[in-house]
Amino acid sequence: MIRPKAFKYKCPNCGYSKIVKPKSDALTPLDFISICPKCNNQMERKELNAVEKIFWR
């Protein structure tokens, strides 16, 4: 079984970001859409950077 990788959502509007670590591979479409809690903009999904990967393996 492949372990799901953590990823990050970043809001291009205000810069708010959050890291999401899926519990399983069975992601629903909702897991790929996230709305910024600060400005209600749609956040973009990003790969973790090198430092973040150390903490979110």
Q: Closest separation between CB of residue 26 and Zn ion, Å?
A: 28
Question: Which range touches Zn ion (CB under 5 A), out of 2-10, 24-32, 41-49?
Answer: 41-49
Q: Is the dihedral of CA 43, 57, 29, 2 positive or negative?
A: positive
Q: How far apart are CA 33 and CA 56, in angstroms?
A: 20
Q: Closest separation between CB of residue 9 and Zn ion, Å?
A: 10
Q: How far apart are CA 31 and CA 45, in angstroms?
A: 10
Q: For Zn ion, which residue of 3, 18, 21, 38 counts as binding (CB under 5 A)?
A: 38
Which chain residues interact with Zn ion by CB under 5 A?
Answer: 11, 13-14, 16, 36, 38-39, 41
